[in-house]
Amino acid sequence: MDVILKFSVSLLTLIVLAGCGTIYHSKDDYIPEGYSEHKISTTEYRVIFETYGYEYWEELEAFLYLRAAEIGAENGYQYFSATALNRETELKVIRKPEVVGANTVGRMGITNQSNVLIPAHDFEFNIRRVAANFHYSNKKSLGSNTVSVILESAN
């Protein structure tokens, strides 16, 4: 019963957050946020969801399960189950170099000089990451999730 309640709360959170659509997207190299996946075998994927925001762990796990359901649907599977679920935090520092611009000075516009427009600075991101291995099948097993139920509840 406790597992069903926890999953229901996570699913409800997913439904609410899916409407916002702000952090649910594929991860790119510029912003430490979004999902990514790695195919381990024809029936297993490693899915990761990370953000630098202040979302609750349950919200991140709901997005993780949503991406897992999408992968299942894309590959024609009806069911999936998670193993090796873990949570981690990381401080990531990204150094931005200074931005230098050229200014023309003087009446005739002859003199040029370079000025620092934006000094070098660091961005610090407190990354929160959840990850799990997902096993896919077309046979229902104990504890498996139904792909279509997860996807329908997100819409």
Domain boundaries, the chain: 2-91+123-154
What gap in Å lies between CA 150 and CA 135, rounded to an integer? 15
pTM of the model: 0.69
pLDDT tens for each residue of 34-78: 999 999 999 999 999 999 888 899 999 999 999 999 999 999 999
Q: Which CATH number applies to 2-91+123-154?
A: 3.30.1360
Rounded Cα–Cα distance for residues 144 and 23 (Å)? 26
Q: Are 100 and 117 in contact (CB under 8 A)?
A: yes
Task: List, for residues 63-122, the tens digit of each pLDDT value.
Answer: 999 999 999 999 999 999 999 999 999 998 878 888 887 665 566 655 556 677 788 888
3-class state of residue 79 by DSSP: strand
